[in-house]
Structure 1
């Protein structure tokens, strides 16, 4: 009985691993196809051919081309958040406790990711997209502002909201500019300029 139970458990783990790998393979293929052709000019057939999978499998895992695009966006944004959170945690562990400097550490990680995933940034910021994507992007943007407000220790009054929105907008637009750069050196200049601007504004002092 023990061996049989262990067998079922092992089989379940293998099945989960295979399912996860199938999903990752489709996302990799979707990333390549969408970047090459744009959302409107890409088809489900293009993606499954690139992934070496089947149309039925894609619909099973994602539901369709629009849902696949949104899943790719979600993974992209989750990676942004994970990298920024790791940078902030590392800075805290090193003894940094100034809210603005912690924000700068997170922002630098965000801008580094904007260069490393520049083709996706261009796709999501300037390319065509499925219906409803703009609402998803705005909603995620509002979540990002709220997270930054917590990091900066901002209040809920109008002045604080403006400050946090301003800082978030600077980093978001800088990320777009980083993704548009031709070289890593140029991207580094854009990132450093944005972070230097934030420090020069010193909005937390302005609030006081």
Structure 2
């Protein structure tokens, strides 16, 4: 039988889905806090479910365990980076920007802004304290990031261009690490502007290589 909310019928399946999504959200937030405070290795499931006001059974039902929670947070963090960059680039294009390097910089700024906004997660994922196999996952994502940057920059497939885009991608990643460790937004902004200056100097569309 359907429930009614504000005059509209809501099926029991929709109600259950809503409860499931909320349970997952609360567990992820609790895991984010506990992992950020204790690190992956030292954190335990009991601390997470206590913080969430949930149960061990619920955690294992929704995620499967501590490792899966960590990886879900990683995917959520990376997904936010990608969505923000895509949105920023699309907005710049709709405003008339067509230069590939400028669009790349717009995407880089969005990534670095996210590194400050979610600095607790950025610090968590860069400290080397993760489940077995996590470093391989990070490396695979890094290679995909370089590929996406190549597409955005529309560079020709030469060794110099591939190398330059790899350097630029690494530069943005390292700037993100420094921003996550910054004591203030002002310091984070300085790092962002320094990164942008280096990107312009390295311009992969016009490399200064004889």
Structure (1/2) with the larger helix percentage:
1
* Deviates further, 120-129 or 107-116: 120-129
Superposed displacement of residue 166, structure 1: 1.1
Does the Cα contact within 8 Å between 1:160 and 1:207 map onto a contact in 2? Answer: no
Structure 1 Cα separation of the partners of residues 15 and 144 of structure 2: 35
Q: Deviations over 1:5-50 (max 9, x none)?
A: x999621111111111111111000000000111111101111111
Give the CA RMSD over aligned residues: 2.0
Where in structure 2 are the equivalents of 1:104-115 lying within 5 Å?
104-115=105-116
User: Which shows bigger deviation, 6-15 or 157-166?
Assistant: 6-15
Map of 1:185 onto structure 2: 186
Q: State how 1:1-208 maps to structure 2 within 5 Å.
A: 10-206=11-207
Q: Secondary structure at the match of 1:14?
A: helix
Per the TM alignment, residue 157 of structure 1 is displaced from its structure 2 partner at its CA by: 2.9
Maintained 8 Å contact 2:161/2:204: no
Secondary structure at the aligned position of 1:39 is classed as: helix
Please list the CA deviations of residues 54-77 of structure 1 after superposition, one character each: whole Å capped at 9, or x if unmatched: 111111111110111011011011
Contact 1:99 1:153 in 2 (8 A): yes
Long gaps (5+) in structure 1: none
Q: Evaluate the alpha carbon distance shift between residue 8 and residue 133 of structure 1 in structure 2; reply closer, same or farther with a 3 A threshold.
A: farther
1:94-147 deviations in Å (ceiling 9; x for gaps): 100101100000000100111111111111001411101001111111111111
| SS of match in other structure, 2:42 | coil
Q: CA deviation at 1:207?
A: 7.0
Structure 1's consecutive aligned runs of 4 or more residues displaced over 4 angstroms after TM superposition are 6-9
List alignment gaps of at least 5 residues for structure 2.
none
Q: Is the Cα contact below 8 Å between 2:36 and 2:121 reproduced in 1?
A: yes
